[in-house]
Structure 1
Amino acid sequence: MTALTPTAASASNTPSDPRRSTRGLLLATLGIPVVIILMLLAFLAPSINSGAQDLPLALSAPQAVQDQLLTQLDTAAPGVFDVTVVADGEAVAGAVENREAIGGITITADESGQQIEVVTASGAGSPYAALLTNLATTLEAQSDAQAVAAAQAQGADAATLLQVQQEASASQTVTVTDVAPLTEADPSGVGLSAIALPLVFGGMASGVILSLVLRTSPWRRALGAVAIAALGGLCVAAVLQTWFGAVDGSFLLLWAGLSLGIAAISLTLIGLQETLGYAGFGLGAVLMLFVSNPLSGLATGWQWLPSGWGTFGQLLPVGAAGTWLRSAAYFDGAGMGASPWVLTAWIVCGLALLALGAYVNARRSRRDRMS
């Protein structure tokens, strides 16, 4: 039996360097509050700065009233809409149904007077339908007020002004048409908004667990991530559509979007962990939970986010998955934009990182064995 020398014994019982412990405590004391502030800003800043600004709006109206209507829009909602003039009412409805615009206005005139149709799509995001419905009421009130003001300018008396107002209200009708309504079971649209948490958690949890359980099998991790994503997407789609009735549309398309979204998050975390070690988990968690999630626009639609941030959010997995799912749920798959390519790109990047990390780690292991 070999006895420990005094030097070895004292070394084994030597406490950690007090200076190192102090530095660690100082870093934790200063660093954790900074992280908390960044987390708060990540969720709070987009919410506070969000709102109606330069929202795409389709317009069809006779040439004679286009300028007047644009002036009314600037008066009623300055800076809110980015108006695109289209050929007719069908083009307006088509732009909204294809998610090229958040809503539209069609004005027609005949012998009975002027008719205004405001086209909305509740499935595009909860704020837009309410905004356009209020706009319809405002436009009707402004038109009546303009008719009364014109009569006043001509010196009409009170009785005549009342008659003018009644005739203006009778000759002009404003209707609101919802071309992508929410379901009766979920009239407020909370079902789709609630997808963000299982989407992010499912991808992150599967990535972390697979990396811990299958440490020496990188490609089994990838296969496991794909399998979990497919099964998880199936379960979430079934709960949302067949159990709660929260969404309509193609079940297969909904399933595919959920599965690709979970896989994109999971494979990205697995690739980062293989390349950077446990620091990759931290980087992936920050990216998915504190950047991609608040900038996804799942609750409101990405156009409601601050200018630039909504577009950036669409290049991240949660935002791209949200656009895919909203299109699948309410627009028969129209208006997906680049979301399929964005999710595919994240999956490919995750696999590339996994391959790079596996190659580097294999070379390092061989070199260690040889030495």
Structure 2
Amino acid sequence: MRSMGGEQVEEAVASAVALLRTATDRDWEAARAGRLKWSCRETAEHLAGDFVFYAGQLAGRATEACVPFEITFDDGTDNEGVLHVIETTCALLTATLRTTPREVRVFHPYPFRSADREGFAAMGVTEVLAHTHDIAEGLGLAYEPPAALCADVLARIFPHVRPGDDPWRTLLWATGRGELPGRAPVTGWRWLNNLVVPAERLTLQGVTPAAATDLVAGGDGGFEWAGGGPFQGTRDAAGMLLQAYEAGVHRPEWGVFVLVRREDGRAVGGMGFHGVPDEEGRVEIGYDLVEAARGHGYATEGLRALSAWALAREEVTSVFATTEPVNLASQAVIVRAGFTRVAKDERQLAYELRGTRG
């Protein structure tokens, strides 16, 4: 699976700087940056500040809040100096991305209050693409970034956005900078880093559309799997996630999660919801484990954690699970997680865990 990291940030910045360097003789302070309230110079300063902020969060392992500092240009910095600052702060971010372990997650304010190195790389690329567009528009320059970069960020931190035939136009629309036929204008937007639900020995890491695409194709989804690879049920669930994504109805918090062991960072199984809660507040959950990880209580631990997360949501009153009558191991997992059997037929058993509001 193609990872999102420093290489993509460097590619985005190199393309942006090459274009903006053709207009360093213009007045960036007087020119408004596209639809923003900032000038082109202020927008460039914001971009450099984003790079330093992201690098600082990762390098400082800031898990509870933003590191309290910012960057500003010195008085008298000319436009060439502005570009030098952008290149330098980009280098700081890319170096930090390359030295940050995969399992490190640090604070980012929205939407789920954390992101990993891939999330910060995707946010960095998005900032470059969006704000270079703004500056270029203000300076009267034509800007068209690589389509692959746009598709990469859409599939990682815009899982709620239905993909289109033109990734750049889709990204502009998703960030309130353009129009798409058949879609209402975007007036307020946020990217969505993947949700991670903690458990005692595991973390349940939300699967992005990018990871789901790789899993469906037979890849590892960006995870290092115990036992060589995921169970088929995880790949099937990834396929359902992709169908929802391509239809524009995917809600990542009600998607698929990979169970990752804290002790070694290896993935041991998949778990997730069959869709959003229904009108009665019931949500269905399913799971599987790789054979090499069975018999250690991971499925029970993960089921407890994800069910508790769901039941803490206002729209959820109960969590529902089914299993085959012959699958005694699965039945034991569900019972140990606190579920009660509510129905039985020849093909499956049904269990339910109700919340305090149910």
TM-score normalized by structure 2?
0.23
Q: Which has the higher helix share?
A: 1
More relative contact order, 1 or 2 (CA 8 Å, 6+ apart): 1
TM-score normalized by structure 1?
0.22
Q: Which has the higher strand share?
A: 2
For the pair shown, which has the larger CA radius of gyration, 1 or 2? 1
